[in-house]
Amino acid sequence: MSLDNAVAIVTGGAQGIGFAAAQRLGERGARLVVADRSGAEAAARALRESGFDAIAVDVDVSQPEQVAAMAQRAEAHFGRIDVLVNNAGIYSSLKPTPFEQLTMQDWRQVLDVNVIGVFLACQAVLPAFKRAGGGRIVNISSGVAFKGNPWMAHYVASKGAVISLTRALATELGAHQVLVNSVAPGFTLSDGVHANPTLVEGVKGPSLRGRVLARDMVPADLVGAIEFFAGAQAAFITGQTLVVDGGAYFH
């Protein structure tokens, strides 16, 4: 599958799932915009050293001005935008917390990044998509939105919102040839997750026991689905969510 010369923005692209996605899209010929709060330049440099055409943008996706500047920089540098992968999100820093102990600040922090950030990024790239005659949005949601995992109600709700927004945008933007789909991972041992031993200890065991494919899930397990939705073979697919979790949830 070729994405030759397509311009792809990957938010949260400096590490983990985002970096793996950027690398796979680069392997398929895409030109890359690595967008992240930190580490974007180092990640883009690593991609360039691997032979890919990549630039970095420092962005906090919860801040409208920064997200708008991200889209402007991408289009100014490459001349167009074709793909947006909304991967930036808060998860790996969270600690499992009973619902009654969650605070309004806990909710706002997660929703600002995981939901408002997706909204802002989609809105920011839409003018460029229209000028290009179409585009692809791939939102990273989560399997927890279907399973309703306990002790992370704010995170579960945020990912449910991403799936619903995916469907709404697919309906609204289809007339502009903008296809909007979602990939819902299971518990993934990304760089950020490894840095939170409490999270790994609490979630890894139940995740493995619930999978048909009883092994750890890593970022490389997701990139094929992201590539598929970004590429030519998904040209008549929109509004869909593909669960990639080793068979923990049949959707």
Is 1 a domain residue?
Answer: no
Verify whether residue 249 is a known catalytic residue: no
Tell whether the model's pLDDT for residue 154 goes beyond 90.
Answer: yes
12 in any annotated domain: yes
Residues 6+ away with beta carbon under 8 Å from 221:
185, 188, 244, 246
How large is the average pLDDT for residues 192-202?
A: 68
The residue range of the domain holding 13 is 7-244
CB 240 within 8 A of CB 14: no
Mean pLDDT, to the nearest integer, of 19-35?
98
Q: Does 123 fall in a domain? A: yes
Report if residue 233 sits inside a domain: yes
DSSP H or E run through 8 = strand 7-11
pLDDT at 2: 81
Instruction: Give the model's confidence band at 201: pLDDT under 50 very low, under 70 low, under 90 confident, else very high.
Output: low
Alpha carbons 27 and 8: distance in angstroms, whole number: 12
pLDDT for 251 equals 78
What is the pTM (predicted TM-score) of this model? 0.95
Mean pLDDT along residues 190-210: 72
- Cα gap 133→120, rounded to integer Å: 20
The count of structural domains within the chain is: 1
Mind listing the pLDDT tens digit for each residue in 98-114? 999 999 999 999 999 99
CATH number, domain at 11? 3.40.50.720
pLDDT band, residue 188 (cuts 50/70/90): confident
∠ CA 151-91-213 to the nearest 5 degrees?
80
* pLDDT score at 208: 75
The pLDDT of residue 200 is above 90: no
Q: Quick check: 204 pLDDT over 70?
A: no
- Let me know if residue 92 belongs to a domain: yes
Does residue 251 fall inside a structural domain?
Answer: no
- Percentage of residues of the chain with pLDDT beyond 70: 96
Query: Quick one: pLDDT at residue 1?
Result: 60
pLDDT exceeds 80 at position 86 = yes
Least confident of 69-78, 180-189, 232-241: 180-189
Q: Which of 155, 178, 182, 223 is catalytic?
A: 155
Query: Within a domain: residue 249?
Result: no
